Structure 1
Amino acid sequence: MGDSCLCRLSLLLLLQLPTWASTGQFRVIGPSEPIVAVLGGDAMLPCYVFPATNVRNMELRWFRTTLEESVFVYRNQRERKDEQMAEYAGRTSRKDEQMAEYAGRTSVDFLAHGEAAVNIHDIRVSDSGTYTCFFKTGSFFEEANLELKVAGVGSAPQVYIQGPEEDGVRVVCAASGWFPKPQVQWRDVSGKKILAFSEAHTQDAEELFSVEATLVVRDSSVGNVTCSILNPILGQERAAAIFIPEPFFPQASPWKPAFAVSLTVMGLLLFGAGCFLHREHSAKLQILQERKQKRLEKEEDKKTKEQALKEKDELQAELGQRKAAYLAAWRKAQLYADWRKEQFQARSVILDPGSAHASIDLSPGKTSLTWKDSSGSEIWSVLGLEGITSGRWYWEVRIRNGDHSEWTVGICREDVERTGWYIESLGKGFWVVRWGKHGYFTDGKCDTGFPVKQECCRVGVFLDYSEGDVSFYDMAEGSHIFSLPQASFSGTLFPYFSFKSGCGSLELPASLNNSSLEETLRPSGKGLISGSAVDDVAPGADFPLLSGSPEL
């Protein structure tokens, strides 16, 4: 049948050759006979153009009713899965080699000869129907229709005696899992057809047919009866026979009890066989469901990993952009303490015992101190041992139990007055920030306080001697606390620490380790405190990625 179909197609193409050659276009040709596919198997849908034209750069599409119901799309020399119907996802492929067998060719590059075919895997009942293959180049396109017939052979028929019926015996034949609707035929031992008493068909959720046919046998001499189930598309049938003993017929049997016992035994045997078959079928269905679930979970895991990688790449790109912008104008930026530290030299501060108030206890290494509640009549202070006359430096101060006391950190000139009760202000040579019960203060004035959410336990002091810049950062949060107005330094400056009330301890770490870069990447403005800008430019005015707090 395939050879005659190809001959008719070839003759038709030869007759149409003058018309197509004159127009310079092509026709799309598909099989003239329906394509038959078996449930669970594969089906190939071939099409080719005439005259033979290279279709590698064309748009090739197989669809059901409309172009949007695409089964397979080939464009720009690759498959376009994003335009495919969901029910065909993962079930289609382009099969040039199989299509070559259909066309009788031996060449490998079938697209160059205008030939293409799509293979549909794991055939379902819903795949049955009409398909259209569509070939397009530029604004010109042609298409051809194909018909796919799906068929499946189900279970073998089960034939059993149901019981007496009027003057005969009722025999039942049942089968399931067939498509399309199967044909049932009864025959006697000589092969003669017997008309069925009744026949009922039902379809399950997968659209497969089950059939139950009954036959009333009234001739006690008939002996065997055979029930055959035929698939009308495939022409395949399955049959089963049953022997009806003569004593089973009411008019001929004096032993009705024997009939009842035999019927019961047969019923039990059939029930056991049915349970076994049902259990086997359920086990197969469960295995298929587990495979499907694993495939879906694998696809979901793949999507999740791809999304995580995408988000990671986006975060790294954003981080790179922010750091590049920061490094381009780090003096004007008041964000990201860890990035700012890269522009400064870490300083290990050693406390000067000679400058310490008598009530301050220094550790043996002179890198930490403790203080007790003072009377409030004087300020207790201590200086760093080594002075600073140039460069960019930063050091970190860690305060314990500082929220119950009043303390000050920063720098001061060498000649400042530090006896009794004095004012820690810019005019007196102090560049400091002070913590008290109302929050942070600077310049020795109560009206220069600014709000913060909580007291900072790790304060970073940043000193740029040549630029006259002093800034304070919350190193635990990586956020800006305050920047003092630009000054003009001369002479030697010393790290400065003082206490007015409460009790607690202070530590100057010998080594300063940067925290992770992600900890500094916070939304603009979060955890920032008002401060002055450098060169009278508001922080972040020209750099939106480095936005800071407004000027105090």
Structure 2
Amino acid sequence: MENCCKPSLLFSVSCLFVLTQLLSWVTTQQFLVFGPSDPIVAAPGREALLPCSVFPAMNVENMEELRWFRTRFSEAVLVYRDQEEQKEGQMPEYSWRTSLVKDQFHQGKAAVRIQHVQASDSGIYICHFKQGHVYEEAILELKVAAMGSVPEVHIKGPEDGGVCVVCMTSGWYPKPQVHWRDSRGENLPVSSETHHEDAKELFSTETSLVVRDSSVGNVTCSIFNPILGQEKVMAMFIPEPFFPQASPWKPAFLMTLTMMVLLVLGACYLLRREHSARLEVQQEWGNLQHEKDELLKTKEDALRTTRALREELDGRKAAYNAAWRKAQLYADWRKEHFQAWTFTLDPASAHPILAIAQDRMSVTRKDTTMCLDDLFSVTGTGGISSGRYYWEVKLTKREGSKWILGVCREGVDRKDFYFESPAKGFWTVGQSSSGYWAYIDSGRASLSIRQAAQIVGVFVDYTEGDVSFYNMSDMSHIFSFHEASFSGTLFPYFRIKSGNVSMVVRSMACVSEEEEREEGEERKEKK
């Protein structure tokens, strides 16, 4: 009985030892991170996917941190922490082009999607997965390249004593290498080569070759991508009848040329005898030429004077145009040079505490009893990317309220805490408990207002980089941002910080009706 128990006890001890070793390995080597072994290829303007996975497979949704970065750990392409993407530490050039693919988190797989791929995106990336004190990394490579179309080869016609053959292709990145080869694979000299880059950064190439040897037969156009190491080729057979033949009229032409030379020599002999008589004619001709030169000089002086007067006139016109754009008075006068901009408020861009009217032309706070001073803002639906436009905003119940209005650049961050300034894409003025302010890069600039602003006019000159604000109640100038550096589309911007103020976008039709009604009332009072 004792002999039977010994093998069983030895087997149990062995299993316990193996289990202990496996638990130790799992504790110290919790997971490994892998990326694709081959480079990832993406075309300019398209999107690229940078995938990484863990082994053994586990749900990575609750991992402490997932990070993709380039050369420095602190300069991230994308950071996922606390179950959401983080903007802190992300490089600006990736902030609006990257997103995290989460549909395979439960299988231990995650990927970063880069949209609108650029040439600068090419290179090495590192994905970094961290859980507790354990982290693992994998290296990926992204190549920005594109294989274009198959070359189109055709015979253009006779040229320079041979046959001109043209090869065209498009859709390549980077600029491809072009080679002409004969039937034996030898390189042929290129006659001309042009490259054109389109709006998507893809290259089109047109190259030509002049073949003078009728025995060449086949020629091949090869288009090679240096990054992918791949090429596309197309061959063309040139029949011998396409080559220019010797003309039978050449001997006759040479004989005719000889006869003409003899006739010219005879004519020269006759003219020599009349040389003395022609000297007088030449003397008279010289006098006439001198008079002609004097007339030409007088004409050039007159043209020079006319050109100077025209340049002075153009300079005065330019000065006038610059002066009226920068003028800070007479809002009605500026209206003649600006086009009325019609838009509505965008409910999708509004903070939940803001109430947008049914006609989308006014905004107020839903709850004015709460003492909050938060980022309650909304933008207009229409964007401005060129030209000169203006609109008017009517303010009611503004006493004791805090508000800001103006324009903002498309894509500005309005979710986290921010301060409106031109450097961050805001050109605004507003009212607080201490008065009226213009929000500039260095802080706030106090504004002197002659009459309380009931209607504010916003004038945007996109071409000149000018945003001006006017008090339409007394037509006085409030503030102007000059020589602003616009990039992208500008949208109307409204923010209610506190109070029960109502901000109403006045359509130009309503403005015209109000002006006509006021004029009618004035006429009645005069009578």
TM range (shorter): 0.3 to 0.5
Q: Normalization by structure 2: what TM-score?
A: 0.38
